[in-house]
Amino acid sequence: MSTHLLQIQEPSSARVPRREDEAPAIGIDLGTTNSVVAVSTDGKPEVLCDEDGEALLPSVVAYAADGSAIVGAAARMLVLDNPECVIGSIKRLMGRGANDVKRLAGALPFEAGDDTGMVRLNVAGHRLTPVQISGDILKALKARAENHLGHGVERAVITVPAHFDDAARQATKDAARLAGLLVLRLINEPTAAALAYGLDKGVEGLYAVYDFGGGTFDISILRMEKGVFQVLATGGDSALGGDDFDHEVAQRFLDERSREHDLGAASPSDVKVVLMTARQAKECLTSAENGEWELDMNGTRSVHQMDRSAFEDLIAPYVERAAVICEDVMVDAGVTAEQIQGVILVGGSTRVPLVRRRVAEIFGREPLSDIDPDEVVAVGAALQAETLTAGSGTLLLDVTALSLGIETMGGLVEKIVSRNTPIPVAKAQEFTTYQDGQTGMSILVVQGEREMADQCRSLARFELAGIPPMTAGAARILVTFAVDADGLLTVKATEDTTGIEAHVRVKPSYGLTDDEMTEMLYDSMKHAEEDMTRRLLAEARVEAGRAVKAVESALAVDRTLLDEAEAAEIERVKADVQKVIQAEDRDAINTAVEDLDRATQSFAERRMDRSIGDALKGVDVDRLEDVAAETFHR
């Protein structure tokens, strides 16, 4: 324990103090399916909601032809109407390429370019990177915080999966820069959850954090004692999550459709629609025993039924993959299930009954769920943000999730920093030359647990030149790996006799170049007002389209409640809205929607009266109050 403490700098001793006139730092859980922002003041965290009281911001972005972005529920609603302009689950692509993403019916849920390195997606005529898309999600969370606090927000603690590699972590920091946020710390999601649970509930002892999110799975074993949160071991899979459940259900639905209809290959737009339907089925079967869902694509309608038992059969292999990782991490931590005092659930996928049952079987106890599993990570991030700016007695001792090393002769990997090493940490190892007169050394930095370099993730390559010509084995080159509190790596190589050195701040192959980042940041500042105007216009258009569809649906069902003149007037006002939607005047769109609301107010009242009347037909007077309450509740 003491050696670990020597390697860690207490956050309060290295804090970035907050000016009295400065907004507090925020905590952000940037999730695959949903994202959350929170803030903590005087040790009391608060999850920030939108104007409708919703804490979860769907991690979905819709792009217009002019480049403006809509983030959240409004974007998700556009999947059915304009799937080609909507992108979701982007977290799975952070630091990765298109080949890392699972296909459905032979197609990806997006159109990807053939770029090397970071994948670029073709969305509404724009070529966008996962970093840019994640940046737009972070901008929306930042705006929510600023609306709540009443002034600007510049600093944040952002959570990442414990098993995120260096490339994905750097991509997350790049996205924050694009959103105008200084990242005080990247904190592992299970550690953030433990921090929230430990400080809020005051628990101490040995705990497991089981984090099954939309795109990633992590399990961490922590010891919590008197404000010290020490991660003993962590493990996971950055390609295992609730999205896999969605894919299995979606594939079942597509297979059923293909047996009924010859529809040919699925397009990216089709994949988005069926995945959204599959997600709805998953969420429904979490609380219901069975259900029925409809797919209407390309003019062909199909109806699909599924019960919970069939759903659990589909997802069982993924739940078992997580179970195996849990067993391995307990071995790494040197603990047994009996020694663990509680299991903290994190992530929306932990709501699935099969997942909870399996967790109880693994650890021999029912898991804890006192704090909302969708919000607990953001709460922990907010508490850590307050610690880093205001100071506290809390100390986090996190670990590296994957081993770090270099390639040696024969393509072998020499591990310098082993997985589950407490961070921040610096470790060094001596190497030498392979042949006589060798004056340079090419150093390949890799990450992973395999023994061969080509089986691990390549992070960076750099050269150490100017080594004095000596006989093979005579030179002494000290290679030092330094991992900071964010889990990001710097490597330095020094030749002993001359003191020459070379170093590299690992910039993963999937990261944006400095020039690209500079250009994007410049553009965002240059066009900030213009971009906000476009966003507000896009939101107004979405709201207007929603209002028109609602009126059309109501007319289709209850047009008989109107006389010809009233129906004609509503049709006229509706046509005005449809016409002005295409204009560039947001105020005109909002005014037209207000006119439509007024024109349909009487119609809406008559529909309500009819609904109540139908519900009360034949009802005993003694039950009138109950039935009326049920009707209004619906």
Catalytic site residues? 29, 91, 189, 211
Q: How far apart are CA 55 and CA 49, in angstroms?
A: 4
Task: Name the nearest CA neighbour of 481 among 470, 469, 490.
Answer: 490
Strands 26-29 and 155-160: parallel
In single-letter form, the type of residue at position 192 comes to: A
Pairing type for strands 404-408 and 412-417 reads antiparallel
Helices vs. strands in the chain: H and E counts, helices first: 16, 28
Interacting residues of 60 by C-beta distance below 8 A, sequence separation 6+: 71, 72, 75, 76, 79, 86, 87, 88
Query: Pick from 55, 280, 208, 68: which is nearest to 145 by CA?
Result: 55
Strand runs (DSSP E) across 77-216, as ranges?
86-88, 111-112, 121-123, 126-128, 155-160, 182-188, 205-212
Interaxial angle between packed helices 601-616 and 528-558, expressed in degrees from 0 to 180 and rounded to the nearest 10: 50
Of 119, 129, 72, 136, the C-alpha closest to 524 is: 136
Q: Residues 31, 59: contact at Cβ < 8 Å?
A: yes
Which amino acid is it at 443? I
Token pair, residue 128, equals: 């966008």
Residue 379 to residue 45: CA distance in whole angstroms: 6
Distance (Å, whole) CA 402 – CA 236: 10
Half-sphere exposure (Cβ direction) of 594: Cα atoms closer than 13 Å: 6
Asked if the bond preceding 424 is cis, omega within 30° of 0, the reply is yes
Residue 492 and residue 502 in contact, taking contact as beta carbons nearer than 8 Å: yes
Dig out the tokens for 210 from the structure. 């089981």
Q: Are 467 and 433 in contact (CB under 8 A)?
A: yes
